[in-house]
């Protein structure tokens, strides 16, 4: 069984006070949540205090990025071991904003994923096509290439520790969610690709959907056989909204 994983990606939002206030309001709202994994990815600056505020709860901490090197002269960067220090269980890598705004490629994403696993942090590896690529019927080529490249350095023995996130770029922050059918089609394709790479272990790997997930569309998405969670931007910024995303899923899958 794949435990659904609902993760909040706050991107470059919330100072420390706002982040802590979110957690204090959010935890009571999800105190009864069972059978789901909940993850918060605040900005680096809030990781420490958010981690302290989450202590003893079921909600896990994630970073939004990482540098693959262990230490050294990399001004402005954060190493996997530093995230361990702050109690991160997960780290997002290869988000489309990192790929498109900061020019990250699959080779770098692959190094990040491997460096995280070496420190026992689970990578959430993002893939997704742009609107141009979808309209040119290149979706499967693009996703296939990103999968192969981004997972190239993952030891198959650790495959279950990897989470995939399918985030069609045209659905991020646009209010334009992929229909459950479109998302499922790509998720099934991703699982086939994972099976080629990791064999039977692919059936245990969680694949999240991301892109304009909201409380009122999460259930339909989660009802699809290969959608195992959500990576949520805008709708994760308010405790009430994100808790409804988490709880809706719990009620729906009960
Ligand atoms: P939105 O939920 O705001 O569309 O963002 C999705 C995303 O990029 C999560 O990583």
- The CATH superfamily label for domain 5-251 reads Aldolase class I (3.20.20.70)
Per-residue pLDDT reduced to its tens digit, 36-45: 999 999 999 9
Per-residue pLDDT reduced to its tens digit, 107-131: 999 999 999 999 999 999 999 999 9
Q: What is the mean pLDDT of the chain?
A: 96
From 211, 238, 245, the mutation candidate for ligand 1 (largest count of ligand atoms within 8 A of CB) is 211
Structure tokens given for 117:
């696993």
Closest ligand 1 atom, residue 95 Cα: 10
The predicted structure's pLDDT at residue 250: 52
Closest ligand 1 atom, residue 214 Cα: 2
Tell me the C-alpha distance between 239 and 122, whole Å.
Answer: 24
Asked if the model's pLDDT at residue 72 lies above 70, the reply is: yes
CA of 214 from ligand 1 middle (Å) equals 10
**Could you state, in order of their start, the residue ranges of all structural domains in the chain?**
5-251
Among protein residues, the one with the nearest Cα to ligand 1's atom 5 is: 233
Q: Judge if the beta carbon of residue 6 lies within 6 A of ligand 1.
A: no
Q: Judge if the beta carbon of residue 249 lies within 6 A of ligand 1.
A: no
Tell me the C-alpha distance between 249 and 40, whole Å.
Answer: 17
Torsion of CA 250, 47, 62, 237, to 10 degrees: 50
Among protein residues, the one with the nearest Cα to ligand 1's atom 1 is: 233
What is the per-residue burial (b if ≥16 Cβ within 10 Å, else e) of 68-79? beeeeeeeeebb
Closest ligand 1 atom, residue 173 Cα: 4
Q: Judge if the beta carbon of residue 180 lies within 6 A of ligand 1.
A: no
Which DSSP state fits 153? T
Q: Grade residue 1 by pLDDT with cuts at 50, 70 and 90.
A: confident
Beta-strand (E) ranges in 74-119? Answer: 88-93
Environment class of 230 (CB within 10 Å of its CB; exposed 0-12, middle 13-18, buried 19+): buried
CA of 130 from ligand 1 middle (Å) equals 14
């Amino acid at each position: 069984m794949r435990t659904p994983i609902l993760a909040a990606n706050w991107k470059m939002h919330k100072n420390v006070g706002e982040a802590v206030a979110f957690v204090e309001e959010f935890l009571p709202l999800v105190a009864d949540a069972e059978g789901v994994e909940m993850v918060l990815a605040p900005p680096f600056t809030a990781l420490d205090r958010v981690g302290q505020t989450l202590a003893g709860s079921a909600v896990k901490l994630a970073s939004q990025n990482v540098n693959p090197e262990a230490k050294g002269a990399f001004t402005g960067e954060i190493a996997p071991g530093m995230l361990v220090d702050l109690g991160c269980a997960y780290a997002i890598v290869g988000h489309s904003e990192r790929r498109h705004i900061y020019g990250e490629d699959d080779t770098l994403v692959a190094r990040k994923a491997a460096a995280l696993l070496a420190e026992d942090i689970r990578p959430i590896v993002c893939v997704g096509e742009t609107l141009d690529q979808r309209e040119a019927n290149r979706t499967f080529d693009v996703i296939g290439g990103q999968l192969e490249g981004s997972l190239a350095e993952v030891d198959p023995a650790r495959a279950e520790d990897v989470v995939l996130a399918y985030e069609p770029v045209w659905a991020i922050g646009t209010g334009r969610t992929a229909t459950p059918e479109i998302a499922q089609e790509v998720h099934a394709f991703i699982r086939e690709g994972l099976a080629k790479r990791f064999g039977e272990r692919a059936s245990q790997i969680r694949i999240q959907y991301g892109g304009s997930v909201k409380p009122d569309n999460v259930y339909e998405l989660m009802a699809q056989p290969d959608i195992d969670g959500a990576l949520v931007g805008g709708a994760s910024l308010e405790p009430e909204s994100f808790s409804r995303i988490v709880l809706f899923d719990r009620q729906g899958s009960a």
